[in-house]
Amino acid sequence: GAVVSQHPSWVICKSGTSVKIECRSLDFQATTMFWYRQFPKQSLMLMATSNEGSKATYEQGVEKDKFLINHASLTLSTLTVTSAHPEDSSFYICSARSGFPSGANVLTFGAGSRLTVL
């Protein structure tokens, strides 16, 4: 089946540094990927829609200059948390549409990346 890989799965950084998280579709091409964020015991919140070859679309309240998204190829989207602060510590998950006919309305999720900002 469709597989989405995220890297790194766990990252710890100092406040003020930038962190890049990669989301790769391993066996399919994804023109659109989605980035979610999850705080402990809360639901996944959609941050932005990543579109291959064009600018990402951000949800209301998400700072686009803070969370830089680049979708340079059909198999890779990256999320860069710039000048990270402790409040950015969270679990970030990406998803991609697999494109399989039977799963037309199904998204494949990555395993997530846990960011801890000290």
Partner 1 sequence: DQQVKQNSPSLSVQEGRISILNCDYTNSMFDYFLWYKKYPAEGPTFLISISSIKDKNEDGRFTVFLNKSAKHLSLHIVPSQPGDSAVYFCAAGSADSWGKLQFGAGTQVVVTP
Query: Cα separations (Å) of 18 from 26, 29, 42?
Result: 25, 27, 25
Residue at 9: amino acid letter: S
8 makes contact with partner 1 (CB under 8 A)? no
90 makes contact with partner 1 (CB under 8 A)? no
Q: Which is nearer to partner 1, 32 or 80 (CB)?
A: 32
CA 93/CA 50 separation, integer angstroms: 13
CA 78/CA 103 separation, integer angstroms: 24
CB of 15 to partner 1, least distance (A): 25
Q: Which residues of 19-58 are buried (b: 16+ CB within 10 A; e: fewer)?
A: bebbbbbeebebeebbbbbeeeeeebeebbbbebeeebeb
Q: Which is nearer to partner 1, 14 or 41 (CB)?
A: 41
93 makes contact with partner 1 (CB under 8 A)? yes
Q: Which stretch binds partner 1 (CB under 8 A): 11-19, 61-69, 71-79, 100-108?
A: 100-108
Q: Please pick, from the candidates 11, 22, 32, 89, the single residue that binds partner 1 as defined by CB under 8 A.
A: 32
Residue ranges binding partner 1 (CB under 8 A): 4, 6, 9, 32, 34, 36, 41-46, 49, 93, 95, 97, 103, 105-112
